Amino acid sequence: MRPTRFRQVQIASQSDVGRVRSANQDVCGTFENAEGYRLLVVADGMGGHRGGETASRLALESIGRVFDRDFGEPDSLLARAFRAANDEIHRVGASDPSLHGMGTTGVAILIGPRDEGCVAHIGDSRAYRLRDGRFDQITEDHSWVCEEVRHGRISADEAREHPMKNVLLRSIGVGADVEVTVTPIDLKSGDRFLLCSDGLWGEVGDRAIAEVLARESPSSAVAELVDLANTHGGSDNVTVQVAALLESEAESSTAIGTDGPSGAPDGSGTHTFLPDERRRWTRAGVIAASLLAAAVLFWRVCA
């Protein structure tokens, strides 16, 4: 095993019931182990108030349990964790008629101590990455409308308003078996990762999400994004997690840690997040610095 080098990561999470629903069926949690791996999980339950809440909670607990007890290669770990969650939810649902058919979406990111990580997901909870001004969706929804867009039968704009936009092709716990999508990712200092339920991306566009993620600290970003989702209607529960990979030792000394309890439930295109104003300011700064350097050089030669 390679020697462990602990990566500094700042994590923030927030979950909210929204403005329409009477109960919150979303959960999120964070976990960390002795080898320096961090795991973030978001789950969005389905199956009525009790069923949805039970399914998402069981998913979080099962995934966290596998992470704590059965650690191995990151991609196989996440696949095992999601299958364990599927088995547990399906077992409980089959044994209790009031919970029959319950299920949940799930998305998780495993951040390693070096430059490797991976994302796993089932359903339409999403993972994004903001890197060097580019905001990319890492996951691809397991939904009917996503399949239609992929095959060119409807447009992305049509998908957002389609009456079948909430129809999922995969979920955790509904069937006896499930296919898990695991995506290896590279990690780079300065990266920011976002996990969220559809209560965020269904209400707020990618550009607005990216601008908040770029501008704010993780704790401020999750709060502002939840507020934005509610301002745009709040038609569903909304859950947001942000993980920031810190850029420098100086930043690490003041920004290490996790906002919120670790391991506990907390209450696609590419865009450029930099607005034109910031670009103009950057160019102006470069010009000013060049003029200052020229003035200093002229003064030294004349002196």
- Integer Cα distance of 228 and 246 in angstroms: 25
What 3-state class would DSSP assign to 64?
helix
pLDDT at 6: 52
- The closest of 192, 193, 197, 169 to 59, measured between CA atoms, is 197
Specify the pLDDT at position 274: 29
- Per-residue CA distances from 258 to 36, 57, 201, 240, 254 (Å): 14, 21, 23, 14, 12
pLDDT at 262: 38
Tokens of 216: 């704010």
**C-alpha 104: how far from chain center:** 16
> What CATH number labels 9-272?
3.60.40.10
Measured between alpha carbons, how far is 45 from 204 in angstroms, rounded to an integer?
Answer: 20
pLDDT of residue 118: 97
pLDDT by residue, tens only, the chain of 303 residues: 333 345 699 999 999 999 999 999 999 999 999 888 999 999 999 998 899 999 999 999 999 999 999 777 888 999 999 999 999 999 999 999 999 999 999 999 999 988 889 999 999 999 999 999 999 999 999 999 999 999 999 988 888 888 888 899 999 999 999 999 999 999 999 999 999 999 999 999 999 999 999 999 999 999 999 999 999 999 999 999 999 998 644 444 333 334 333 344 443 322 222 222 222 223 333 333 333 333 333 333 333
The tokens for 85 are 């969650």
Q: What is the pLDDT of residues 241-299, one digit of tens each?
A: 999 998 644 444 333 334 333 344 443 322 222 222 222 223 333 333 333 333 333 33
151 Cβ contact partners less than 8 Å away, ≥ 6 residues apart:
none
pTM, to two decimals: 0.81
